[in-house]
Amino acid sequence: MRAIKRSLSDPIGACSSGFRLDAAYFVGYISLMAHDHDHDEASHLSEMDLRVRALETILVEKGYIESAALDRIIELYETKIGPHIGAQVIAKAWSDPAFRQLLFEDASKAVNALGQERRIGEHLIAIENTPQVHNMVVCTLCSCYPTDVLGLPPMWYKSFAYRSKTVKEPRAVLAAFGITLPAETEIRVWDSTAETRYLVVPMRPAGTDGWSEAQLATLITRDCMIGAGLPKKPNEVA
Ligand code: FE
């Protein structure tokens, strides 16, 4: 039961207006997941598709969710919510000292001040990479993720291999992503929960003096905001 309750709240972050909306977000979320898994629905429905459709049908019939609400949620996550929001946040933190300070004091408040599509809840924590410390984010239990600022999690984030190995051998996981950090750099691993999500603020790349926030945002990848990557170098986007 605990796992189910966590899953219901997992994809929505800030949303707390009752089971009806929780259920709609949950089904919308797994509908997207199912869509990710199988595009060959004309001839074959995967087991995941069948389960999602059965769940959707029952919840609609019982009046817990509305199909129109589901469509709206799916559209939201396909077109409006994604890592471009996180990139905007990081670029501003690199450019605006007052925003940077607020971000580390209260990340939810800082991000909401930017006027996103949806207000995020009071659960987001920004963690700063420095030459001394590199941060990585994982959810060891399931797949808790800062969806409001990064969109849907990548498949590898939800894999058992990432969830288990990141805790035990973060350096090896980084190597698998092509990242080698100095031996003296400490790697801290943060375990996300339904109540607490983390956003890694990477170090601003050298050679970007005078860049606008829009230019800086082009350097910021989804993976570097999870800690599984580094920002692009200026010559990679020039
Ligand atoms: Fe989780």
End residue of a domain, out of 79, 113, 136: 79
Alpha carbons 130 and 198: distance in angstroms, whole number: 16
Same domain assignment for residues 127 and 191: yes
In the residue annotation, 139 being an active-site residue is answered as yes
- Sign of torsion over alpha carbons 13, 35, 150, 191: positive
End residue of a domain, out of 49, 79, 109: 79
User: Mind listing the pLDDT tens digit for each residue in 193-208?
Assistant: 988 999 999 999 999 9
Q: Is the pLDDT of residue 12 over 80?
A: no
Instruction: Tell me the backbone φ, ψ of residue 136, rounded to 5 degrees.
Output: -130, 150
In the residue annotation, 144 being an active-site residue is answered as yes
Mean pLDDT of 10-22: 41
Mean pLDDT of the chain: 84
Alpha carbons 77 and 74: distance in angstroms, whole number: 5
Same domain assignment for residues 225 and 117: yes
Same domain assignment for residues 110 and 183: yes
Question: How many separate domains does the chain show?
Answer: 2
Same domain assignment for residues 107 and 216: yes
What residues make up the domain containing 182? Answer: 83-237
Q: Is the pLDDT of residue 36 over 90?
A: no
Q: Give residues whose Cβ lies within 5 Å of ion ligand 1.
A: 139, 141-144
Calculate how far, in angstroms, residue 151's C-alpha sits from the geometric centre of ligand 1. Answer: 15
Instruction: Tell me the backbone φ, ψ of residue 188, rounded to 5 degrees.
Output: -105, 135
Same domain assignment for residues 128 and 181: yes
Q: Is the pLDDT of residue 8 over 60?
A: no
pTM > 0.85: no
Q: What is the pLDDT of residue 34?
A: 57
